[in-house]
Structure formats: C-alpha cells, structure tokens
Amino acid sequence: MHIFDPTTLLGIHSLLSLIALAVGIPLVLGLLRGQDRPREATIFLATALATNVSGFILPAPGFLPSHAVGILSTAALAAAIAAHYRFALAGSWRPVYAVGVVLGEYFLVFVAIAQAFLKVPALAATVAETQAPFAVSQVVVLAAFGALGWLGVRSFRAAA
C-alpha cells in the first residue's frame, strides 16, 4: 500500500492532509495581517476536518497518540468553524477562530513531522539512536506556532 495512492483510504487521508497543510500556511499568514480569507478558510477547515475523520477510521491496533492529537485537532477546528460560520467572527469569536486555525495547522505540522521521522530512513535512523532530534524539532515547531498564535490573535483581533 502506497501512502499517496488516491484509491486507498490512507492515500485519501494523506492527500487531504497535504491540501490542508498547504492552504493553512497562507491562512495563518493572513491572520498575522488581520485578514479574513473566507475561501482559504473553507478549504482549510473542510480538508483539515476531513483529515481528522479519515484518520479516525484508519485501521489501528487500539487507541494511539495519533487519536489523541486527532481529538484535540477536531475540537480546535470545531471551535474555528463555529466562530467563523455560526458567529461570523463577532466579538470574542474572532480570537477563538484565530486560535482554532493556528492549532489546526500546528497539529497537521506536528503529525507531518512525526510521520517524517517514522517514514524517512535518514530521520528514522536518528530516532533509533535517540529521541532528541524528534523532540527538538517538535519543541521548535511548538514555539513557532505559539508565537504565530499569539501574533495572529493580536493582529486578527485588532483588525476587527
């Protein structure tokens, strides 16, 4: 089974994830400029949520850390969806939306890094010796997204 075969559930899941990752970048950058990007928001929120749903139905030997990440991501995306489409970014829903989008993109990046360390032989070899490269990369990404989230909330709220 090939990870990017669009005829398999794993392939569809992977494709949805890549689309959400790619569309999430300009969406998050737009937050930093105080911009609401409705088209990108719709694509990102739909594909990120579909990534989570398809991930939950992939065969697994039990409850895995990926399931916990999927639950957290789904909660963040649900809040962003409600903030954008139900509450029209009014009042305190603006920062809820910004946080939900940044968290949704962060979780996608988190999983992409984890998958890279599992599937890319050179990265997998570093993890076989020590978890340090994986841990350092995840801490750096967490710090970067923490800063993006803080700046995004400030900028997006100020643009209201």
Query: Whole-angstrom Cα distance, residue 110 to residue 112?
Result: 6
> How do residues 37-72 score in pLDDT, each as one tens digit?
999 999 999 999 999 999 999 888 999 999 999 999
Q: CB 37: neighbour CB atoms within 10 A? A: 18
- For the chain, which residues make up each domain, given as ranges? 9-158
pLDDT averaged over every residue in the chain: 91
What tokens were used for 108? 């996608």
Q: What whole-number percentage of the chain has pLDDT above 70?
A: 96
Q: How confident is the model at residue 157 (pLDDT cuts 50, 70, 90)?
A: confident
pTM of the model: 0.90
Instruction: Tell me whether residue 133 is exposed, middle or buried, using C-beta atoms within 10 angstroms of its C-beta: 0 to 12, 13 to 18, 19 or more.
Output: middle
